[in-house]
Amino acid sequence: MELNNIPYEVSYRNIKYPRIELKTGKLLLVLPFGFNPEIVLRKHKRWILKKIEFIEECLKEAENKEIKERTERDFREIIYSLAERISDELDEKLNKIYFRTMKTKWASCSAKRNLTVNQLMKFLPEYLLYYIIFHEIAHLKQKRHNERFWEIIAKEFDNYEVLERELFIYWFRVA
């Protein structure tokens, strides 16, 4: 597979280093002003092709994923219940929970201890809701996705890599 056939967008920003994003399944090059996109494409060709192959596999798997039908009320009750339980488990206190549609994330947790939940999570199975909420509250213990963070996650989810992949697959199903 050649990169020539793969559509991509370039976003020039006031940054120091180029980066490659495939969060939504589309190739985006985020580059410093004046940077030649061909350099990034050539340098990271193998990685990009591998990621695109992974995305194509996930797209196929997404077709067979079951969507949960929940009322907004039921969804919020589940989230509040999970957040309370997990906060107690991790001995971390949340401030507020917000619900909104997000373009690239299932959820986020701010330094002010506010949990923002993507409305699209409503369609996920409950075990993935639990994983996402746990993941976000774990960020109150460790901000970055570093080794210590993944150790916290692995204590509760020894299969977290499988769950991360499944969330990626579901993203294509519900987004």
pTM for the model stands at 0.85
Supply the pLDDT for residue 23.
Answer: 76
> Among residues 146, 117, 111, 152, which one has the least CA distance to residue 133?
117
Q: What is the set of domains in the chain, with CATH numbers? A: 3-62 (no CATH), 72-174 (3.30.2010.10)
Supply the pLDDT for residue 1.
Answer: 43
Q: Are 87 and 109 in contact (CB under 8 A)?
A: no
Q: Which two tokens stand for residue 113?
A: 């201890």
pLDDT tens digits, the chain, 175 residues: what are they? 456 678 899 999 999 999 999 877 789 999 999 999 999 999 999 999 999 999 999 999 999 999 999 999 999 999 999 999 999 999 999 999 999 999 889 999 999 999 999 999 999 999 999 999 999 999 999 999 999 999 999 999 999 999 999 999 999 999 8
Supply the pLDDT for residue 22.
Answer: 87
